[in-house]
Every structure is written in C-alpha cells, then in structure tokens.
Structure 1
Amino acid sequence: MFNQVWLSQLKKHRAIAVIRAPKMVLGEQMALAVASGGMRLIEITWNGDRAPELISQLRAELPDCLIGTGTLFNVQQLQDAIACGAQFLFSPHTDPAMIQAAVAKNIPIIPGALTPTEIITAWHYGASCVKVFPVQSLGGTNYIKSLQAPLGHIPLIPTGGVTLKNAKDFLQVGAVAVGLSGELFPPESVLQENWTSITQQAKTLIRRLQ
C-alpha cells in the first residue's frame, strides 16, 4: 500500500528537490525556498550538515511536503534515517539488505542503478522505484527511452544530468519523476542566500512540467 501512495505522490508532483547542504541553516532555507515555489518532494542528502536534525525540523516546518533522504550507503544509515523521520529513502547503489530493511518498515526505497541488469535486480528485491544515476553518462533521455520497451513496468527516476530545460523530456519518454540538485540550487544563489531566486527556479520547473 505504501508504494501506491508514494507512486501517486510522484505522479502528482513529478520532481524531487535534492538538497546537499554545507550548513544546516542553509539546508533549511533551501528547502523553504523550493517549498514556497510549490515543490512537495524534498530530499536531504545524508552526507549534508546535521542531516537527521534537519529532516526532523523540516517534517515539522513543512507538513505539506514529503521529506526524505538520500546518499544512504548502508543499513545502519537507513535505520537512522527512518528514526529521524525520513519519509522516503534514496541510495546511489543497489544493496538488497537496505531494500529489505526499508520494505520491512514500509518506507519507500529508491536505490540507484544504471544498467538493465542493475535496474531489474533492484526491482526484484523490492525497490519502490529505481533511481537511474548518473543518467547523462549513458545518453540522458535517449537512454530512458530505450529502457521503456523491456522495462516499462519499472518506475524510473533519472538523476545526474536533469536540468530545468530537459526535465519534461525525461517524463515524456517514460520517467515517473526526476531529481534535480544543482539546477535548482545554483551555488552562487546559495552563497548569496538569494532564496527568492531559488523559489523562482522551483516555480519555473513546475510550470515546465505541467
């Protein structure tokens, strides 16, 4: 059941904001900025500053958003992420033990994979969706399109090369949603704490995906 709810949220919102914050206070502002722009799926990377604390705080501050985490490397990190309130879990790789641990807790788990074998393996072990990463290295939208005939039953979320300009293209060739990081959070905007600019980036993305 939890997978159906997760998939319905993905199909509704179509984009995940990926926040890798050097300081927790910046991570909070980055999340608030994209939420103000209308984004509802926010991933806080586990290797950012004070990620558990930030996830817990954002759960309280942004009740209309789903706050998840990513860059999880092992079962211990995954369990810690669930304990602090993460509502979905991304990893850069496919680890059967991590997938099984998340499934046991009814938390959506989206492992990273690149080749058809890796994607099918992740799905076989119970992944909620599969993160195709880094998608640009294998041809971007053309790669996602080429996977649809044999693997169209597996919901794919490309990351690593998704931009404001090509995000809709990924959806049109079959991706269930996309993940964006640097495109939503240009380093100079974060450095200057130009949150209005980041909110505008989020609004632009949402408009283009409609």
Structure 2
Amino acid sequence: MTITDLLNGGAPPLVAILRGVTPNTAATVGEALVEAGIRIIEVPLNSPDPLLSISRLVEAVGDRAVCGAGTVLDIAAVEHVAQAGGKLVVSPNTNPAVIAQAIECGMEAMPGIATPTDAFSAVAAGARRLKLFPAAPLGPGYLKALGEVLPAGTSVWAVGGTDASSLHSWLEAGAEGIGVGGALFRPSMSIEEIARNAEGLVEAWMDITPAGVPKSEAVVR
C-alpha cells in the first residue's frame, strides 16, 4: 500500500503528525485516526521511543494506513525506520542521501523544501512528493509560484501551521495535501479530543470535495 494507492482509493490527503506520541498510546491513537478517515501517519523521531511507536502503529493499522517517521535526518535513521516496518520517511530538510536510502529500502521519501533549489535537489535525488516547510510563513501564494516550475509528476504537501481552516487554500494553490501536527495531536489530548480533531479535518476535506468526484482528483483549481 502506498500514498498513491490510498489517494486513488478515496482517502483524504492528510498526514497525521504524532509528535510526542508514546508506544503505550500509539496503537489507540492510530485506530482513532483511521476510524476518522486519516490513513497516513507519521511519528517524528524526536518523540519518546519512536521506533517502537511506529512498530505498534504498523501492527495495529498497517493494513489500512501508511505509517512512517518524521524528522528523519540521516541514513541510519532511515534503516531503523525500515526495520520498524515504516513505509514513509519525512524530513524537515533536503538530504539526497536520505532520499536515496529511503527509496532503496522501498519506502516513500517526503523531504522538506523551502526554496526552488531544495525542490530541484530533492527531485534529482528521486523524491516525487515534497514537503513545503514551514508552510504557513511562506503561504499558498509561494506554493503556487513554486508549482509553476516544478517538473510534471512532482507533488507538494504543505506542513507547518496547517489545519482544517487552511486546507482549502493550500489545495487551491496546488498542494496535493497537508500534514497536521499540533492542531490534530498533542500528547496531552484525550483520545476523544484527537478523534474529534481528526473528524474535523476529514469533514473539511469532504466539504470541498465535489459530489461524485474521486477525492484524489478533487483539488480545487
């Protein structure tokens, strides 16, 4: 299962960023997210015991969601994520070696970019989905301009300060999707609050999805 498979199957273009999740709660949070409709899940590696959390997520929801790691900074981390069963490697920066290793391990790389130079370096290394980060300070207008020069087949996801209220603006600017962290999950939140946040994000996506149009094709232009 890949992100493309999920989007083509109608899953919303949303990445749940679980910074600070623990192994004791990872499976329960993952189940709540998948139940709400979010099927791409990232555990940043600066979380407590992140590899065990990824392993437990994969065990709990790996047949229904693409699970992986964020804040992946070096080749060794990529290999550890692969050993934990992760299928997605997300980074805050563009490191060609990390991208290449993720692809070598059969995982999808989503490197962080902030400039055209970053973007073209990431694409040259093999990445096809890029993470605009931090997205909010740059804004949808910046993404729209960047998108005009990116190679065909390159997708950009907006991450950093993104939430349900900004989803439409990012999709309209050309984003394939968004990643959401603190507006969706914080370690202090109850599972009920996390579920409500996830449902709100999916509802925001549904509100801008034309009736009868596959979700993967429903970006408003």
TM over 0.5: same fold?
yes
In structure 1, stretches of 5+ residues that fail to align are none
* SS of alignment partner, residue 103 of structure 2: helix
Q: Is the 8 A contact 2:40 2:65 kept in 1?
A: yes
Q: Is the 8 A contact 2:22 2:50 kept in 1?
A: no
The alignment status of 1:198 with 2:198, answered yes or no, reads no
The alignment status of 1:126 with 2:122, answered yes or no, reads no
Tell me which residue corresponds to 2:205.
209
Count of residue correspondences: 202
Map 1:76-87 to 2 at 5 A: 76-87=76-87
% same residue: 26
Tell me how far apart the structure 2 counterparts of residues 64 and 46 of structure 1 sit (CA, whole Å): 22
The worse-fitting range, judged by mean Cα deviation, of 18-27 and 115-124 is 18-27
Tell me which residue corresponds to 1:55.
54
Tell me how far apart the structure 1 counterparts of residues 116 and 86 of structure 2 sit (CA, whole Å): 28
Cα distance 1:8–1:45, how it changes in 2: closer, same or farther (>3 A)?
same
| AA at the equivalent of 2:94 | T
Map 1:34-183 to 2 at 5 A: 34-62=33-61, 63-138=63-138, 140-151=139-150, 153=152, 154-183=154-183
Q: CA RMSD in A?
A: 1.8
In structure 2, stretches of 5+ residues that fail to align are 207-221
* SS of alignment partner, residue 162 of structure 2: coil
- 1:194 is displaced (CA, Å) by 2.1
The worse-fitting range, judged by mean Cα deviation, of 144-153 and 110-119 is 144-153
Calculate the TM-score normalised by the size of structure 1: 0.89
Tell me how far apart the structure 2 counterparts of residues 59 and 28 of structure 1 sit (CA, whole Å): 8
Tell me how far apart the structure 1 counterparts of residues 123 and 159 of structure 2 sit (CA, whole Å): 17
Q: Is the 8 A contact 1:152 1:174 kept in 2?
A: no
The worse-fitting range, judged by mean Cα deviation, of 53-62 and 193-202 is 193-202
Tell me how far apart the structure 1 counterparts of residues 23 and 54 of structure 2 sit (CA, whole Å): 10
Calculate the TM-score normalised by the size of structure 2: 0.84
- 1:96 is displaced (CA, Å) by 1.1
1:94-147 Cα deviation digits (max 9, x unpaired): 111111111222210111110011111101110131111001122x21111222
